[in-house]
Structure 1
Amino acid sequence: MANPMRMLRTLCLGMAMATAVGTAPAQALEYPNRPIKLIVGWSPGGATDLLARTLATELNGLLQQPVVVENRPGANGTIGHAQAANAPADGYTLLLATNSTYAIAEHLYRGLSYRHQTDLAPVSLVASSPLMLAVRPDLPADDAAGLLALAKREPGLLNIASGGAGSTSHMAAELFMSVTGTRMTHVPYKGGGPATQAVAAGEVDVAFLDLGVAAPLAAAGRIRAIGVTGSEHSPLLPGVPPIASSGVPQFQSTTNLAVFVPAGTPQPVVARLAEAIRAALAAPALRDKLSRQGLVLIGSTPQALGQSVQAESAQWAEVIRERGIALEP
């Protein structure tokens, strides 16, 4: 005679498996059925905020639900990052982050309330943005090699601005000094805009600046662009060479922007979001608008973003250890 308890356990297991098999497609079909929040760890008006709002507008139609941008600035993006890490894993809280928070912050700051690799799941690498290496107009350096010669001639004399301690512009400066064996004095500002104005006003000598913010000032002659940090020329600065091809072959650094969700978000929901983001980035109007800001649009799979995060995290951990940098969040 069959054991009744064993039969009951077998029946329950079969029901659970059937439920699990049916849940994934159901989640994909039902999602989304209410508004979605897209957290940005920066103030309104910046390059990341512009990307978030442009992307959200496209996603509104593709997902048939409002995608609402919520700015949570502070601590170089880590406040918004922490909020997203602690949100419910249901697909209704997204995070648009830069590599300053998802690949750099954990190596730089002590006491963060989250761990990126375990608390957030990758959705899509959205875009990358090379930085402009710019100098004040009267600095006698026409390219990266000329700047390098000045910096080696008088170590520590040149001032290099950034958009804040721990920002990608700061890390680009540290990487530049690391690979060239030079020393300049870091001057952090509260954002890329103030750092750009500081170069234009001659308060500082040099900076790595956001292309979308700094290109108009370069066109007006208020700052001088002498290099870009990507591997290719930028359409915004066609006559300005990549730094890697003008005296510093080991150097490349970009601001990368990606979408994440809280860890544990159902896989069908993650796949739905990644698909929608790739479709949004293919829209001609969106591509035209963001390309004019110097962004290179990507739209990766979750798996590709996960691999990118691991590689970048290892790279910046090495730079931060070598440079001995530690900050309080």
Structure 2
Amino acid sequence: MIRPLMTRPSPLARRRWLALSCALLGVAAPLAVQAQAWPVKPVKLQVPFAPGGTTDIIARVVAERLGGPLGQTVVVENKAGGGGSVGATETARATPDGYSLGMATVSTTAANPAINPKITYDPLTDFTPIINIAATPNVIVVHPSFPARDYKGFVAELKKNPGRYSYASSGTGGIGHLQMELYKSLSGVFVTHIPYRGAGPALNDTVAGQVPIMFDNLPSALPFIKDGRLVPIVVASAERVAVLPQVPTFKEVGLAPVNRMAYYGIIGPKGLPREVVDKVSSAVRTAVALPEVKKRIEDTGSVLVLNSPEAFAAQIKAEYAVYKDVVARRKLSLD
């Protein structure tokens, strides 16, 4: 049997083979990294308001328990300013790799973009909606020194003294601002707006009596209501709230259009992979299913929503349209 002669490859052939091998490894390495299951490091959940407000409360309650189903720590980071637009802008500009997520509210994805032409993000196209965690009633509260303690007396006092009183909000363009403007347009009362850098600071000054009125989210106001340091006047909710059974809704006082609840959801920058969206959504559902988490959220007066990304996107679009109309009809501006 004649065996074929075995020839050694030339130096040039060996160099070409090595170059090809390195090129293939260069392609395989990032593919291997991409194939790793997300997340492989801690995830940031940005709250676009100061600590102490409802957005912060909901974010921290859920984030504490997301680490289990995700397998990584979820770190809450507060970045206040611009009625929530500063933090929201950072989320919109983040790399869409799933490691920078943000809390979405009516203020950041509807009310503020509706009034502020300087906001650089489009709430309908620059985010990836993931899940709406909860819907929360808003409530008009007054300091105990206010002359009235019920809705009838509240309206009578404001109409008797137009321009005498002011109200605090989480910031110009926030839901507390625009929802109060919607209320003013329908009720015929006039109170002066005082914007703050978040619901927490605004609430602190209202509790201290520096500002007599606030249109706030129920979860952050409720502890002070229970302590008698704030008086609830009327709530924006489809039905009376179980924790405030004596307080009427706007519908009951003839102002049904003001019955718009706030939402607290999670979003990412546009282009977020569906794998990340689904994992975060599933992890939130797992966390909220824990009895202690569910109870902590519902005890604030919030209602769990836990909808799909598509449903959340539709909700954002609908709220944005509502507040664009409020701004146009009230001729509101940042000046």
Write the distance in 2 (CA, Å) between the matches of 1:113 and 1:278.
Answer: 32
Kindly, what percent of the aligned residue pairs are identical? Answer: 36
Gap change, CA 1:72 and 1:203, over 3 Å in 2:
closer
**How far off is 1:120 after superposition?**
0.8
Work out whether residues 52 and 220 of structure 2, in 8 Å CA contact, stay in contact via their aligned partners in 1: no
**Range with bigger deviation, 293-302 or 180-189:** 180-189
Cα offsets for 1:41-74 (capped at 9, x unmatched) = 1223432222222212221101112222222222
Write the distance in 2 (CA, Å) between the matches of 1:308 and 1:118.
Answer: 14
Gap change, CA 1:171 and 1:65, over 3 Å in 2:
same
1:176 aligned partner: 183
SS at match of 1:309: helix
**How far off is 1:138 after superposition?**
4.5
**How far off is 1:200 after superposition?**
4.2
Indicate yes or no: 2:187 matched with 1:210. Answer: no
Write the distance in 2 (CA, Å) between the matches of 1:156 and 1:45.
Answer: 29
Match of 1:236 among 243, 260, 271: 243
**Range with bigger deviation, 56-65 or 211-220:** 211-220
TM-score by length of 1: 0.83
1:34 aligned partner: 41
Indicate yes or no: 2:103 matched with 1:90. Answer: no
Indicate yes or no: 2:290 matched with 1:283. Answer: yes
SS at match of 2:244: coil
Aligned counterparts, 1:215-294, within 5 A: 215-294=222-301
Write the distance in 2 (CA, Å) between the matches of 1:280 and 1:200.
Answer: 32
TM-score by length of 2: 0.82
Amino acid paired to 1:273: V
Match of 1:110 among 114, 117, 122: 117
SS at match of 2:322: helix
2:141 aligned partner: 134
Gap change, CA 1:108 and 1:164, over 3 Å in 2:
same
Q: Which has the larger radius of gyration?
A: 2
SS at match of 2:251: helix
Write the distance in 2 (CA, Å) between the matches of 1:156 and 1:67.
Answer: 45
Q: Work out the number of aligned pairs and report it.
A: 304
Tell me, which stretches of 5 or more residues in structure 2 are unaligned? Answer: 1-30
Write the distance in 1 (CA, Å) between the matches of 2:207 and 2:63.
Answer: 33
Indicate yes or no: 2:313 matched with 1:327. Answer: no
RMSD across aligned C-alpha pairs, in angstroms?
Answer: 2.4
Tell me, which stretches of 5 or more residues in structure 1 are unaligned? Answer: 1-22
Write the distance in 2 (CA, Å) between the matches of 1:249 and 1:269.
Answer: 38
Gap change, CA 1:276 and 1:323, over 3 Å in 2:
same
Amino acid paired to 2:153: G
SS at match of 2:216: strand
SS at match of 1:32: coil
Work out whether residues 79 and 87 of structure 2, in 8 Å CA contact, stay in contact via their aligned partners in 1: yes
Work out whether residues 143 and 246 of structure 1, in 8 Å CA contact, stay in contact via their aligned partners in 2: no
2:84 aligned partner: 77
Cα offsets for 1:133-185 (capped at 9, x unmatched) = 12233444343343233333443233222232222211221111112232222
**How far off is 1:27 after superposition?**
7.4
Write the distance in 1 (CA, Å) between the matches of 2:283 and 2:186.
Answer: 39
SS at match of 1:243: coil
Amino acid paired to 1:78: S
Amino acid paired to 2:305: I
Write the distance in 2 (CA, Å) between the matches of 1:203 and 1:66.
Answer: 39
**Range with bigger deviation, 214-223 or 94-103:** 214-223
Cα offsets for 1:8-55 (capped at 9, x unmatched) = xxxxxxxxxxxxxxx9xx979822233222121122343222222221
**How far off is 1:195 after superposition?**
3.3
Write the distance in 1 (CA, Å) between the matches of 2:241 and 2:35.
Answer: 39
Aligned counterparts, 1:8-87, within 5 A: 30-87=37-94
Work out whether residues 144 and 247 of structure 1, in 8 Å CA contact, stay in contact via their aligned partners in 2: no
